Structure 1
Amino acid sequence: MLSALSLSAGLAWASGLRLYLTIALVGFGAAIGVVHLPPALAFLASPWMMSLAAVLAIVEFFADKIPALDSLWDAVHTLIRIPAGALLAAAALGHSDPSLQTLAALAGGALAASAHLTKAGSRALINLSPEPLSNWIASSAEDVLMIVGLTLALFLPAVFLVLLISFLCFAGWVLPRLWRGVQGGWRGMATHMLGVEPLRGKHE
């Protein structure tokens, strides 16, 4: 049961960060016999699913390194990562009680949302900076964090669940601050742009 809970939570959390890479890695692990998935998730190990996920993971890898495209990509994937995390979390419990699967879907959606919003909020704040190096560093750190977290969820479930609780506490603390920071950054940019345009009009 601990392994099933860890798999469910791990897939949801990782989907909020890197959905396609999560599917590709778990599917490949199942295909070579390293990862054992319930029947409801057996489709992840199919060649077409792994191939599609791998292609999209490569596209996401490069899109995530371009500041403007990264923010647009995150905005679009708000509608994809969170539902996918909910579905994967429910399917990870196999053919369990329907009420338990419903609860897992709700919890999985919440986990995917917390990971996604923390990622998207921090990256939106970083993207306000004109230099690209911080974006690359943050993106690479997210790649490593997702891979390490997913590995722990699959092979060290107790450790992962303890760390996941710590992450949720951190997300609850940092998300309001990220939102205020992004709002302040956008307001500052809007004020600067509105302040420059009238000056140009006077000279013209």
Structure 2
Amino acid sequence: MLELLTGTGLALAAGLNAWVPLVVIGALDRFTGLVELPPAWAWLSNEWVLLILTVLLVLEFVADKIPGLDSVNDVVQTFIRPTAGGIAFGSGVDASTVAVTDPETFFTTQQWVPVAVGVVLALGMHLAKAAARPIVSAATGGLGAPVASAAEDAGSITLAFAALLAPVLVLLAVVLMAILVVMLVRRRRARRVRVGHPPTTG
């Protein structure tokens, strides 16, 4: 159960920022005794892999703070974040999950299931984030986008550490995010109603 919560938290974190959970899990494995990656995922703690992931993290961090460029970044990340989510979930669930080194074995033994679950979770989170961003931008004239992006980065970092160090907290995070999504959907519907039926005067 805890392994599933760990995988879920890491995948959701990847849906907000593809590189945060991968950097966190790799760094904790390499520099601390808090995380021990399964052998097949040990490449995440390689110093060169960590360096590349950190550079990509910085690039996304900057790109997502610039109005206009953040929308382009979201389009590109539609493919990257789910992939990162699959890797994060797969590396987080348990030591029996393996990387895709033998495609035939990978699919016939259902070892692809954790990776697929991670892809779906990260994609869902990414789509929710991408849908919320235009609402924030429209409400603030674009000025709120950097703030929203910073909040998403903070959420990704918090989720990643919670997933690895206190997996039970992932349940609370999932509930809170579900509430936020519902609130955003209701607000969007209310706005459409106002636009479709503007108030009359006089």
CA contact (8 A) 1:117 1:175 kept: no
3-state SS in 1 of match to 2:21: helix
Equivalent position SS for 2:37: coil
CA RMSD of aligned residues (A): 2.8
TM-score w.r.t. length of structure 2: 0.76
Q: Could you say which residue in structure 2 is the equivalent of 1:154? A: 164
1:138 aligns with 2:144: no
CA distance in 1, matches of 2:190, 2:119: 25
**CA, structure 1 residues 96+37, in 2 after alignment: closer, same or farther (shift >3 Å)?**
closer
| SS of aligned partner of 2:36 | coil
Q: Determine which of 125, 130, 135 is the counterpart of 1:125.
A: 135
Structure number with higher relative contact order (C-alpha < 8 Å, ≥ 6 residues apart): 2
The residue number in structure 2 matching 1:58 is 58
More helix by share: 1
Give a deviation string over 1:43-74, Cα, whole Å, max 9, x none.
Answer: 11101111111111111111111110001100
SS for the counterpart of 1:152 is helix
SS at match of 1:127: helix
Within 5 A, what are the aligned runs for 1:29-178? Answer: 29-33=28-32, 34-92=34-92, 93-96=94-97, 98-99=109-110, 101-128=111-138, 131-160=141-170, 162-167=171-176, 169-170=178-179, 173=182
Which residue of the partner structure matches residue 15 of structure 1?
A: 14
Aligned-partner residue type, residue 29 of structure 1: L
Q: Distance in 1 between matches of 2:123 and 2:147?
A: 22
Q: Structure 1 residues 111 and 168, CA, compared in 2 at 3 Å: closer, same or farther?
A: farther
Q: 1:84 to 1:96 in 2, by over 3 A?
A: closer
Name the amino acid aligned to 1:118.
Answer: A
Pair 1:174–1:90, CA change in 2 (3 A) = farther
Indicate the SS of the match to 2:73. Answer: helix
CA contact (8 A) 1:78 1:116 kept: yes
What runs of 5+ residues in structure 2 fail to find an aligned partner? 99-108, 197-202
Query: Separation in 1 of the partners of 2:121 and 2:187?
Result: 18
* Displaced runs of 4 or more, over 4 A: 174-182
Distance in 1, matches of 2:182 and 2:66, equals 27
The change in CA–CA distance for 1:165 and 1:22 in structure 2 (over 3 A counts) is closer
